Amino acid sequence: MVFDKNQSVRFTLVTALCILMLLLWALSVFVVSPVGTPSRFLYLVLVLCVPFAAFSPRAAAWFYLLLFTFLAFSKLNPGILTLTAIVLLAILVAQHKHVTGFTFAALIVLLGFYSPEHHRLEGDPESFIVFTAMLAFASAIGWWIDRSRRQQRRREETSNLRRRELAALLHDTVAADLTSLTVRLEALAITTPDKASQLQTCAQLARKTMADTRTLLQELNEPIDQTTSRPAPALNETLHEVTELLRSHNFNVQTTTELTSFPSQEHINRALHQCLHEIATNAIKYAAPGSTILFTAFIDNERIEITMTNEYSPNHNIKNSSKLGLESIRKRLAAINGVMTIQQTNKQWKITLAIER
């Protein structure tokens, strides 16, 4: 069974409440004031109303009150099990059932201090003050939880609205321009046969970028809690993708690999996929056209080490780069216990990614 985030939180809450209520029930009926089997069963139904309130708060509250009333007028004193009403009140208020919670608290106070023998409210003032203070504290906790949930919901709604606005902007600008660029490149390939191969390569890259943009638009249009990311490709697939991407830009790519095992963790594969594509993008921008790019990859059970070496073009001034891509690589590697080292000479650029497993 697969739970989404909200279902998982609710399942954990209900499990914790069930354990807490069963412990309190066992303490009451076996230790504090032992009772017979029928009373044990009634008390068990009473305490199980509390975790049920996570699913149907009003139904749980009214059933709890009916059973509590029956116990009170049957001269079966729930004793410490009355404390379960405090937990139930907090659950009611936390789910924005304020009127039900207030009514529930008032009736519990009346029933808790009502004496069916003398037909009047009985009890010392200290007990009344302590019990009502505990109910007030439970209401305050429930209100705080409710307020936090509502604020979180508003933030998610604002974020979802912003995502949809960004998706519309990307669709009207970048996606439209990519479509136009693809059509023009294919037209140029027909009218200039001598450059047809290079232009078709550019058109294919534009189509791939358009497909990636459509995927991004689809994810942006989905609410945050419903967004499902595509699984990251395995490291050997990423290495093949990057190699083919560089070759499609007329680089001579030479690879040396020593692969005894591959990482199976999704977060490592995703980080390496993003880092290697960022490295390939830098090579396309700054490497000398048609030059040789050396890729080496060493992977075993303890370490992953990937190195790329290329000659950079003298026409590009690397010092003027914003280095945002390199900073992004460093952050992604740091998140998976990895480091990046760069060695640069007058003509050569060498970058190494190392990850301890």
| Domain match, 164 and 97 both | no
Is 75 found in the same domain as 25?
yes
Domain that holds residue 165: 158-226
| 199 within a domain of the structure (yes/no) | yes
Same domain as 328, residue 249: yes
Residue 211's pLDDT is 74
Give the highest mean pLDDT range of 65-74, 118-127, 165-174, 255-264.
65-74
Exposed, middle or buried: residue 210 (CB in 10 Å: 0-12, 13-18, 19+)?
Answer: middle
> Based on the structure, what is the number of domains in the chain?
3
Q: Verify that 40 and 76 share a domain, yes or no.
A: yes
Q: Is the residue at 66 inside a domain?
A: yes
Q: How far apart are CA 24 and CA 81, in angstroms?
A: 7
Task: With respect to residue 134, please indicate whether it lies within any of the assigned structural domains.
Answer: no
Q: What is the CATH number of the domain that holds 293?
A: 3.30.565.10
Q: How many residues does the chain have?
A: 357
Decide if 136 is inside a domain. Answer: no
pLDDT of residue 321: 60
Q: Among 202, 226, 250, which residue terminates a domain?
A: 226
**Is 71 within the bounds of a domain?**
yes
| Confidence category of residue 353, pLDDT binned at 50, 70, 90 | very high
pLDDT tens sequence across 9-59: 777 778 888 888 888 888 888 887 787 888 888 888 888 888 888 888 889
Q: Identify whether residues 293 and 184 lie together within a single domain.
A: no
Report which of 332, 355, 331, 329 is spatially closest to residue 342, judged by C-alpha positions.
329
pLDDT at position 333 over 80? yes
Q: What is the percentage of the chain residues whose pLDDT exceeds 90?
A: 9
Please give the average per-residue pLDDT across 248-252, as a whole number: 84
- The verdict on residue 165 lying in a domain is yes
**Bridge pairing between strands 292-299 and 252-259:** parallel
Which of 96, 123, 150 marks a domain boundary?
A: 123
Question: Which pTM value belongs to this model?
Answer: 0.54
| Across 66-73, average pLDDT | 85
Residue scoring higher pLDDT (35 or 147): 147
Q: Is the pLDDT of residue 142 over 70?
A: yes
83 and 187 fall within a common domain: no
- The average pLDDT across 202-227 equals 69
**Whole-number pLDDT of residue 53:** 87
- Residue 121 neighbours by CB under 8 Å, 6+ apart: 110, 113, 114, 115
pLDDT at 307: 92
The answer to whether residue 116 sits within a structural domain is: yes
- The residue from 70, 103, 123 where one domain ends is 123
Residues 213 and 248 in one domain: no
Q: Is residue 323 domain-resident?
A: yes
Do 66 and 41 sit in the same domain of this protein? yes
Asked whether residue 268 falls in the same domain as residue 240, the answer is: yes
